[in-house]
Structure 1
Amino acid sequence: MDVLDLARTQFAVTGSLHFLFVVLTLGLAPLIAITHTRHAVTGRPEHERATRFWGQIYVTNYALGIFTGLVMEFQFGLSWSGLSEYAGDVFGAPLAIETLGAFFLESTFLGLWIFGWNRLNRWVHLACIWMVTLTAYASAFWIMAANSFLQNPAGAVERGGRLVLTDFGALLGNPALVNSLPHVVGAGLWAAGFLVMGASAYQLFRRTTEREFFTSSLRTGLLVAFAGSLVTVGFGYAQFGTLALYQPDKFGSPLAGTALGIMIIVGQLVQLLLLLLAPLAYWLPRWRWAQPFLMILTPLPFLLAICGWLAREVGRQPWLINGRLTVADAMSPGLTSGMVTVSLVGFTGVLGLLALADYLLIARAVRRGPTAVALGAEDEPAPAVREPALSH
C-alpha cells in the first residue's frame, strides 16, 4: 500500500477500536443511572448491588477507553495536519467544546460518583451519576457535530484558502447530525443491552447462586436491547432522506455498500429476533437451552456498530471534508510509507492490547459476580494499634 492507503488504514483501525469503547459507554451510563435512582428512591439492596456490579464494568470500559481516545487525538496531528490547517477553526470548535465542556465534567462527576459511595449524601451521589450520563451524551453530541461537518460542511465559507465558521446554528442543525446522533445513541443502548443479556445468560447457564440477580438483569438487558434496536433502525432509515441532499452517491463504492448491506441485513434479523424474544422476557431466563444462544449473540451489536462507522466514513471518499478537502490534500506533508507503517503497527498493538484488556477485565468481573465488586464497598476499619505498656 502507498502512504495514503496506510494512513487511511491506520485511522480506520484506531477509530474502529475506539468506537467499541464509546458505544458501550453510551449504552451503560443511562442503565446505571436508572438503577441507581431506583436504589435511592426505594433503598432496596438488590438495586444497589446491580448499580455497583454494572457500574464497575462501566468504569473499567470508560478508563481504558480514555487511552484509545488519546490515540485518536494523535491521529490528527500525526497524519492529517492538512485538515487542521484548512478547517481547524471550524472542525476544532466542537472538539474543543467536547473536551473542555463535556469530557472534563464527565470525568469529574464520575470520580465523585466512584469515590462518593458511603461518603456523599445519597441524592448528591445520585446527581453525580446523572451528570455523568448527561455529559457523556453531550460529548457524543459535539463529536457527532464535528463528524457531521466532515459529511456536510454547513455553516462555513472559504476565505483566504481556509474555512471560516459563519453560522454556528447551521453547524448544530446540520442535516447530517439530526438523525445520526439518535442512531448512535440507539446503537449504544443496543450494545449495552446485549452485554447485560449475554453476561446474565452466562451466569445462569453455569447455575449461579445469584440466580435472582441475573434473572432480573437478563430481562432488563433484553428489553433495553429491543428498545435500542428500534431507535437504531428507525433513525438509520431516516438518514437516507437527508443523504440524498449532500451525499447522493455515498454507497457507490464496494466497501461502503458492503458495510451498509451487512448492517441492514444482520441488523434487521437481530431486530426481528428481539421482537420475538421480548414478549418472552419473563420465561427466557428459565430456559437453559436458550442461554448459550444469547451469549453467542453478544458481539453482534458491536459488529454492526463498526459496519455503520465504515459505511459513514468510507462513503464520502475521496473527500475528507465532503466537496471541500480531499483525503490526499489533508495528509501531513513529508510522511513516508515506513513512518506510517511503524505508527500503524504501534497504534494497532496498543489499542489491540487495550481492547483485549477491556474484554478480559469485563469477563473477569462477570465471572466473579456481584459478591466480589470493589466499587462502593465500605472501607475496612483500620486495625487497632495497641500501645506498649509503660514500664515503671
Structure 2
Amino acid sequence: MSALEYARLQFGLTASLHFLFVMVTLGLVVLVAVMQTRYVVSGNLAYGRMARFWGLLYAINYAVGIATGLVMEFQIGLNWAGLSRLTGDVFGAPLALETLIAFVLESTLLGMWIFGWGRLGKRLHLALIWGVAATAMLSAFWVMVSNAFLQHPVGYALDADGIARLTDFGALLSNSALWFALLHTVFAAMTTGGILLAGVSAWRLRRAHRARRRRELAPEDHELFRRSLRLGIRFGLIGTFFTIGFGYAQFGPIGDNQPTKLAGGAKAVAQQAAMVDRFGPGDYLPSDWVVISLEAMTGIANLLFLLLFVAQVLTFRDTLIRRRWARPALWMLTVLIPVPFVTAILGWIVREEGRQPWAVYGLLRTVDAVSPMSAGALRWSTFGFTVAVAALAVVDWWLLARAAARTPGGEFGTGEESGETGEHRELREALV
C-alpha cells in the first residue's frame, strides 16, 4: 500500500470509530435531559432514577469518547499537512470552536451536573443537563460546518501564495452542504440513543421474565425499565423518521455541489469528461462502494422504521411486556442495538468516500493533502492509532455493559446524602 492509502485507511478507521461514540453521546444526553425534566416537572421519582441510571451510561461514553477524539486530532495533524497548510485558516476555525465547546464548556457543565446530584437545587441541576445537551449540539454543529467546507468550499479566497483565507464566515454557516446533513446526523444520533435505551431495557425486562433462572427485578426497577423501554422506542421511531427525511433531502444539494458523487451510467461518463476538462486528467468518479453503501443504508433505515413502528404499537397497554406472544419483540429490540451504528458507518462512507479524489472538493486533491511521510511510517502509525481507538471502543462497551447490568441506584455516589434511600422506599411503596 502507498503512503496515501495508509493515510486514508488510518483516517477512515479512527474517524468512523470516533463517530460511533458521538452517536451515543448526542442521543443519550437529550434523553437524559428529557427524563430529568419530567422528574422536576411532575415530581415522579421514577424519572429521577431513570435520569441517574442512564446518565451514568452517558458519562462513561462521553469520557471515553473524548479520548478517541484526541487520537483522531493527532492523526489529522500528523498525516494531513497539505490540508492544514492550504485550508487550515478556513476549515480549522470551526474545529477550534468545537474544541473550546467540547473540552471546556461542555465538560465543565457535565462535571457540575455529575457532582451536583443532591447538592444543587432541582431546577439549577436540570439547567445544567440541558446546558450539556445544548453544548453537545453546538459541538456537532461546528464539526459539521468544518466538514461542509470540505464537501462544498465557500467563504474563502486564495491569497498570492495560493493559500485559502477565510473571507465570509456567514457563507460557512449558510453552506448548502451543511444544514440537511447536520439535521440528518442529529436525528440519526437520536435514533441511536433511543434504540440503545430500548434495547438495554428490553434485555433487563427479558431477564426479569425468566424468574426461575434469575432474580426478578424489584418493582421500582421494573418501572424504570418499563418507562425507559417506551421512551426509547418512541424516541427511536421519531428519530428514524426524520433521519430518513433529511437523508433524502440531501440529494438535491449533493447533485449541485458534487455532481460526480451519485452519478451513474451515461451521466457518470459525462461528469467524468466535464471534470477532466475543468481540472485536467484523472479519475474523478468515486468507487462503487458509495452506491452500495447508499443502497444498504437506505434499506436498513426503512426496515428499522418499520420494526420500531411495530414495537410502538405493541407498547399499547404494555402488550410488549405483558403478553407472552409479544415478548420476542423484546429480543428483537436488543438485537437492534448495533444496527444504527452500522447504518451510520454506511452513511459516513457515502459522504466521505463519495468526495474522492478530493480532500476539499474541487480545490485540493487528497494526494496533495497528505503529509510527506513514508509508507512504512504511516503503516506503523495506522497500526498504533487503530489499536488505540479499538481498545478504547472495547473498554467503552465493556464499561457500558457493566453499568447497564447493575442494579439501579447510587449512581454518581448518590445515596443517603442525597435522599436516595428515602426516594427509593417511597417509590417502592407507591408501586406495591
Fold shared by both chains (TM-score > 0.5)? yes
Give yes or no for the alignment of 1:26 onto 2:62.
no
Partner of 2:247: 236
Given that 1:105 and 1:135 are in contact with CA atoms closer than 8 Å, whether structure 2 keeps it comes out as yes
Aligned-residue identity in percent: 49
Tell me: CA distance 1:133–1:371, structure 2 relative to 1, closer, same or farther (3 Å).
Answer: same
Residue 260 of structure 2 aligns with an amino acid whose one-letter code is: D
Partner of 2:66: 66
Partner of 1:254: 288
Give distance in 2, aligned partners of 1:224 and 1:121.
Answer: 28
Give yes or no for the alignment of 1:293 onto 2:332.
yes
Partner of 1:366: 404
Residue 190 of structure 2 aligns with an amino acid whose one-letter code is: L
Give distance in 2, aligned partners of 1:144 and 1:192.
Answer: 20
Partner of 2:278: none
Partner of 1:198: 199
The CA RMSD measured in Å over matched residues stands at 1.5
In structure 2, which of residues 298, 318, 329 is the aligned counterpart of residue 264 of structure 1? 298
**Structure 1 portions without partners, runs of 5+:** 381-392
Partner of 1:355: 393
Partner of 1:227: 238
Give distance in 2, aligned partners of 1:369 and 1:231.
Answer: 34
Give distance in 1, aligned partners of 2:310 and 2:14.
Answer: 36
Q: What is the CA deviation profile of residues 25-75 of structure 1, one whole-angstrom value per residue up to 9, with x for unaligned ones?
A: 000111111111111222222111000000000000000000000011112
Give distance in 2, aligned partners of 1:12 and 1:131.
Answer: 31
1:153 partner SS: coil
Partner of 1:384: none
Give distance in 1, aligned partners of 2:168 and 2:192.
Answer: 35
Partner of 2:119: 119
| Runs of at least 4 residues off by over 4 Å | none
In structure 2, which of residues 366, 369, 374 is the aligned counterpart of residue 336 of structure 1? 374
Deviation at 1:289, TM superposition (A): 2.3
Give distance in 2, aligned partners of 1:191 and 1:292.
Answer: 17
Residue 289 of structure 2 aligns with an amino acid whose one-letter code is: L
Partner of 1:323: 362
Partner of 2:229: 218
Residue 312 of structure 2 aligns with an amino acid whose one-letter code is: A
Give distance in 2, aligned partners of 1:255 and 1:103.
Answer: 35
Q: What is the CA deviation profile of residues 338-390 of structure 1, one whole-angstrom value per residue up to 9, with x for unaligned ones?
A: 1111111111111111111111111111111313634544559xxxxxxxxxx
Give distance in 2, aligned partners of 1:377 and 1:151.
Answer: 50
Q: What is the CA deviation profile of residues 8-37 of structure 1, one whole-angstrom value per residue up to 9, with x for unaligned ones?
A: 000000001100000110001111111111
Give yes or no for the alignment of 1:279 onto 2:313.
yes
Given that 2:184 and 2:242 are in contact with CA atoms closer than 8 Å, whether structure 1 keeps it comes out as yes
Q: What is the CA deviation profile of residues 221-265 of structure 1, one whole-angstrom value per residue up to 9, with x for unaligned ones?
A: 100000000110000000001111110111352111111111011
1:174 partner SS: coil
Residue 284 of structure 1 aligns with an amino acid whose one-letter code is: L
**Equivalences for 1:369-388 in 2 at 5 Å?**
369-371=407-409, 373-374=411-412, 376-379=414-417
**Equivalences for 1:89-168 in 2 at 5 Å?**
89-160=89-160, 161-168=162-169
Give distance in 1, aligned partners of 2:133 and 2:49.
Answer: 19
1:332 partner SS: coil
Given that 1:114 and 1:376 are in contact with CA atoms closer than 8 Å, whether structure 2 keeps it comes out as no
Given that 1:110 and 1:128 are in contact with CA atoms closer than 8 Å, whether structure 2 keeps it comes out as yes
1:371 partner SS: coil
Q: What is the CA deviation profile of residues 196-226 of structure 1, one whole-angstrom value per residue up to 9, with x for unaligned ones?
A: 1110111011114132221111111100000
Residue 142 of structure 1 aligns with an amino acid whose one-letter code is: W
Deviation at 1:279, TM superposition (A): 2.1
Given that 2:155 and 2:171 are in contact with CA atoms closer than 8 Å, whether structure 1 keeps it comes out as yes
Q: Which shifted more, 368-377 or 226-235?
A: 368-377
Give distance in 1, aligned partners of 2:146 and 2:344.
Answer: 19
Residue 320 of structure 2 aligns with an amino acid whose one-letter code is: L
Partner of 1:313: 352
Normalised to the residue count of structure 1, the TM-score between the two structures is: 0.94
Q: What is the CA deviation profile of residues 112-165 of structure 1, one whole-angstrom value per residue up to 9, with x for unaligned ones?
A: 000011111221111110100000000000000000000000111211211111
Give distance in 2, aligned partners of 1:101 and 1:346.
Answer: 28
Q: Which shifted more, 167-176 or 101-110?
A: 101-110
Give distance in 2, aligned partners of 1:378 and 1:12.
Answer: 47
Residue 212 of structure 1 aligns with an amino acid whose one-letter code is: E
Residue 196 of structure 1 aligns with an amino acid whose one-letter code is: L
Deviation at 1:102, TM superposition (A): 4.8
Partner of 1:388: none
**Structure 2 portions without partners, runs of 5+:** 209-215, 263-285, 419-432
Deviation at 1:103, TM superposition (A): 3.9
Given that 1:194 and 1:222 are in contact with CA atoms closer than 8 Å, whether structure 2 keeps it comes out as yes
Residue 348 of structure 1 aligns with an amino acid whose one-letter code is: T
**Equivalences for 1:167-182 in 2 at 5 Å?**
167-182=168-183
Residue 190 of structure 1 aligns with an amino acid whose one-letter code is: T
2:164 partner SS: strand
Given that 2:311 and 2:329 are in contact with CA atoms closer than 8 Å, whether structure 1 keeps it comes out as no
Given that 1:262 and 1:307 are in contact with CA atoms closer than 8 Å, whether structure 2 keeps it comes out as yes
Give distance in 2, aligned partners of 1:259 and 1:24.
Answer: 21
Normalised to the residue count of structure 2, the TM-score between the two structures is: 0.85
Q: Which shifted more, 261-270 or 55-64?
A: 261-270
